[in-house]
Amino acid sequence: MTSPSPSNMMASNVNPSTMTPSQFRNELTQQDLMNQTAALDTRPGNQMNFSSSAANPSIGEMMGNAINQVNATQKHAGSMSTRYTQGDPNIDLPEVMVAMQKSSVSFQAMSQVRNKLLEAYKDIMNMPV
């Protein structure tokens, strides 16, 4: 007996409106994991083939993209919070809380990456030539 692939599991899920909040969060986590796995797949023919040096983004571009993604996440969480407080019936409190937590975690991760980059830069600058 083979285990179901993640894509088969996603296709067979029930309607999100009938899920409990914990099932919905688990579903989101599985979806994020599948997206990250697909992005990290480096086989030839996939979107991230590291054989070409011209296609590799610089550290500045990568940090800029990460900052923009964190900013978008924070804006989304802020708009959901505002819509919820204004009484939008399409926004539930668990959705708002999940969006705010994603925003917080992404900002903290971004801050840690920045701190590690600065630490590495300082180490390199202090190396004797």
Task: Confirm whether 38 is domain-assigned.
Answer: no
Task: Confirm whether 47 is domain-assigned.
Answer: no
Task: Confirm whether 1 is domain-assigned.
Answer: no
- Count Cβ atoms within 10 A of the Cβ of residue 97 and give its class: 0-12 exposed, 13-18 middle, 19 or more buried: middle
Q: Which residue blocks in the chain are alpha helix, DSSP H?
A: 6-11, 21-40, 59-85, 93-125
Q: Check residue 29 and give its pLDDT.
A: 60
Structural domain of 94: 59-129
Q: Which residues of the chain have pLDDT under 70?
A: 1-54
Task: Confirm whether 82 is domain-assigned.
Answer: yes
Task: Confirm whether 86 is domain-assigned.
Answer: yes
Task: Confirm whether 76 is domain-assigned.
Answer: yes
Task: Confirm whether 95 is domain-assigned.
Answer: yes
Q: How far apart are CA 59 and CA 118, in angstroms?
A: 12
Q: What pTM was estimated for this model as a whole?
A: 0.54
Task: Confirm whether 108 is domain-assigned.
Answer: yes
- The half-sphere exposure of 55 on its side-chain side, counting CA atoms within 13 A, is 7
Q: Check residue 10 and give its pLDDT.
A: 42
Number of domains in the chain: 1
- CA distances, 43 to each of 37, 38, 62 (Å): 12, 10, 21
